[in-house]
Amino acid sequence: MADHGVAVQRFFVADSANDALEAAQRLKAKEIVLKAQILAGGRGKGIFNSGLKGGVHLTKDPKTVEQLAKQMIGYNLSTKQTSKDGVTVKKVMVAEALDISRETYFAILMDRACNGPVMVGSPQGGVDIEEVAVTSPELIFKEEIDIFEGIKDHQALQMAKNLGFQGALQQQAADQIKKLYNLFLEIDATQVEVNPFGETPEGQVVCFDAKINFDDNAEFRQKEIFAMDDKSENEPIENEAAKYDLKYIGLDGNIACFVNGAGLAMATCDIISLNGGKPANFLDLGGGVKEAQVYQAFKLLTADPKVEAILVNIFGGIVNCAIIANGITKACQELELKVPLVVRLEGTNVQEAQRILSDSGLPITSANDLEDAAKKAVASVAKK
């Protein structure tokens, strides 16, 4: 944000207590805020396994920054959004603390209904915006932006007025809004949400906290941004899956789901649950699937000790079912599959796929439709 001229607090990132002390001294700020850097919310109320309470601390003394950083770096912080064990803090942010005299909410997001970007703002910031939308819908302001023409001066100024900025602050807020829109376009964001978008007693408009979503499809031209993706907090199996363009999310059940397309994967998880089973994972093959991916997917699924059955649910639109069938038979033979396997295939080249499976001589249970597949998968686990 700073690189795009957006006003943020001055800050440094440190990965040791000594670096944190140096950063605090370099800031020469009246007050300093120290924040644990993990990919989870609720840090302020979190607890460290070092005994320290809170992942966000204010102090006027750089020496205190060093002491606090010693109790943060290398220790696990657990918040309402992490697992019970928490997440190891490897870095801290040392920033200049600023007073906020007023908080507003501002966001830019892609809206399918409008075929382009929409600005959303509210003079009531610093709180859950969904709550404001329910309790005070009149305080939510929306403005569509023509993606070809870009944001107009009068649109930015009107939004600044709607957010309650007055006098010289109104123009300052409008300028920040335009810079946020340029940022939104240049980094291929799908959402830039600033909460609070606030003003200070000294008359500054500052983005105090922000959340940015990036379009995965733009990775090829946003290499610098995607290189910042910290995968160390992911489950190792998720990182392994990503190497083969597989989307994997671990769940706590015992029936593995092997599906193409996120929507179908969610539906498969739901129908397993409806039939009394519990999905062990969410594994999405995606569209451009190759035989090697099928093999790697099976390798990942069979390596999970929780998995007691595998349900393959493929709808072949752009996916050729025969490729899936060849991948399944190869994986079953080479990995010596020990758990029941239920397969439901539908769509492109399905007859050839079914022939490959039946000719393989492998103990594969075929299913006619999704409901039938879910029932057979749940029953195979019950038998065990």
User: Is residue 187 part of an annotated ligand binding site?
Assistant: no
**Type of residue found at 149:** E
Q: Which residues contact 294 (CB under 8 A, 6 or more apart)?
A: 285, 323, 324, 326, 327, 328, 330, 331
Residues 229 and 156: their CA atoms lie apart, in Å, by 31
- b/e string for 285-324 if b means 16 or more Cβ within 10 A? beeebebebbbbbbebbbeeeebbbbbbbbbbeebbbbbb
Annotated binding residue 195: yes
- Give Cα separations from 17 to 26, 66, 79, 201, 211 (angstroms): 14, 5, 22, 32, 27
What residues form DSSP beta bridges with 105? Answer: 122
- Other beta carbons within 10 angstroms of residue 25's beta carbon come to 15
Catalytic positions, written as ranges: 105, 193
- The annotation status of 198 as a binding-site residue, yes or no, is no
What are the contacts of 68-71 at 24+ separation with CB within 8 A?
A: 68/20, 68/34, 69/14, 69/16, 69/17, 69/20, 69/21, 69/34, 70/17
Beta bridge partners of 365: 342
42 appears as a binding residue in the annotation: yes
344 is in an annotated binding site: no
Q: Is 43 flagged in the annotation as binding?
A: yes
**Which residue in 84, 92, 13, 40 sits closest to 234, CA to CA?**
40
Structure token pair of residue 59: 């102090």
Q: Say if residue 109 carries a ligand binding annotation.
A: no
The DSSP secondary-structure symbol of 140 reads -
121: β partners: 106, 141
List the structure tokens of 184.
């939104």
Q: Work out the burial of residue 372: count CB atoms within 10 Å of its CB; fewer than 13 is exposed, 13-18 middle, 19 or more buried.
A: middle
Which residues fall within 8 angstroms of residue 113, CB to CB, at 6 or more apart? none
Tokens of 227: 């290189």
51 annotated binding-site participant: no
Residue 98 annotated as binding site? yes
Annotated binding site: 9, 42-44, 98, 195, 209, 260, 317-319
Binding-site residues for substrate, in ranges, read 260, 317-319
Which residue ranges are tagged as binding site for Mg(2+)?
195, 209
Binding-site residue set for GTP? 9, 42-44, 98
